[in-house]
Amino acid sequence: MGLETSLEKFPQFDRVIIICRWQKFCKNPGWSISPVVRDFYANVYEHERNQMNMRGKVITFDSHAINHFYELLDIEDDAYQ
């Protein structure tokens, strides 16, 4: 999980990651996050309007919530939406 880069091996990736402010997004979260990810995918089919209950909490997983978590800017005019 996560993307580990090295300036020596992949300088073009590091430049893009820094320019787009993706450092937090690309950081390896470690193996401890695996059970949470499994729970998310096990429950994601039972969602309404990009929200679901998981471990007793309401989880919002739209683009705005994900961007907020990773401290990224929202892109309003996104061709993929």
40-64 tens-digit pLDDT: 888 888 788 889 888 888 888 888 8
Asked whether the beta carbons of 52 and 59 are under 8 A apart, the reply is yes
Structure-model confidence comparison of residues 34 and 1, the more confident one: 34
Per DSSP, 7 falls in state T
- Indicate whether this model's pTM tops 0.75: no
Residue 76 is encoded by which pair of tokens? Answer: 């309003």
Cα–Cα distance measured from residue 41 to residue 44, given in angstroms and rounded to the nearest whole number: 5
Lowest mean pLDDT among 23-27, 64-68, 76-80: 76-80
